[in-house]
Amino acid sequence: MLTLERLGRRFPNGTEALRDASLRLQQGDFVALLGPSGCGKSTLLRLIAGLDAPDAGRIHWDGGQAPAPGEIGFVFQDATLLPWASAAENVFLPLRLRGVARGTAGPAVQAALARVGLDGFAAALPRELSGGMRMRVSIARALVSRPRLLLMDEPFAALDEFTRHGLQEDLLALWRELSCSVVFVTHSIYEACFLARRIVLMTPRPGRIVTEIESRLTASPE
């Protein structure tokens, strides 16, 4: 799907957030980027998403074509929902940005909410939902345009342990069902081992990929 070749990123203040980071991502992969705070996990994820550009190295997409908007779903640590908009409106947003008419989007929005266990909550405002439910809305929003690649930046870090475990199980089920690729940032070795098939270990100062580990704790979608 994607090859990262010796990516480097140095911020204007001199911080070398990433050096020589190389990685190959296959269709259907579930990769965890694991390491302590400041090792460049978020930076690497943002480079893959095209939200930031590398200073060195290159990103090669198989087929030569970078993904169109909507082909990558991004989930941030704090669900980042529009506070004044309902769950359905929040999930509709990426479709609206791509010019999909509200009238035709209903079934896709409903399906995305149902897929994350939120049927019946379409009209709810973010403040009326628990932290776990807000994260589910955020995941539904990332999935509504059926992305080939789902990028997740510590999505469950702010949740209590029970809620987190529930969402981890549900994310694995979603991944098996949708067979999209996932890159998941975490500093929890438990979470990396439980979720991912490949664990990419990173260290800080400068941010680098140290090694890659295969995890067989979870079953693959095949």
Positions that interact with ligand ADP (CB under 6 A): 11, 13, 15, 17, 35, 37-43, 154, 207
What is the smallest separation between the CB atom of 46 and ligand ADP, expressed in angstroms? 8
Q: Which is nearer to ligand ADP, 4 or 88 (CB)?
A: 4
Strands (E) across 123-164 are located at 149-153
Pick between residue 140 and residue 152 the one whose CB is nearest to ligand ADP. 152
Tell me how far, at minimum, the Cβ of 17 lies from ligand ADP, in Å: 3
What CA–CA distance (Å, rounded) separates 52 from 48?
A: 8
Specify the DSSP element, H or E, that contains 57: strand 56-61
Pick between residue 125 and residue 158 the one whose CB is nearest to ligand ADP: 158
**Residue 17 or 112 having the CB closest to ligand ADP:** 17
- Give me the least distance between CB of 37 and ligand ADP, in Å please: 4
Burial of 100 (0-12, 13-18, 19+ CB in 10 A): middle
CB of 134 to ligand ADP, least distance (A): 17
- With contact defined as beta carbons under 8 Å apart, do 73 and 140 qualify? no
Work out how close the CB of 207 gets to ligand ADP at its nearest, in angstroms, rounded to a whole number: 5
Q: What is the rounded CA–CA span in Å between residue 94 and residue 16?
A: 32
DSSP character string of 163-186 = HHHHHHHHHHHHHHHH--EEEEEE
* Token pair for 198: 């490949």
Give the H or E element holding residue 16. strand 16-25
- Residue whose CB is less far from ligand ADP, 19 or 136: 19
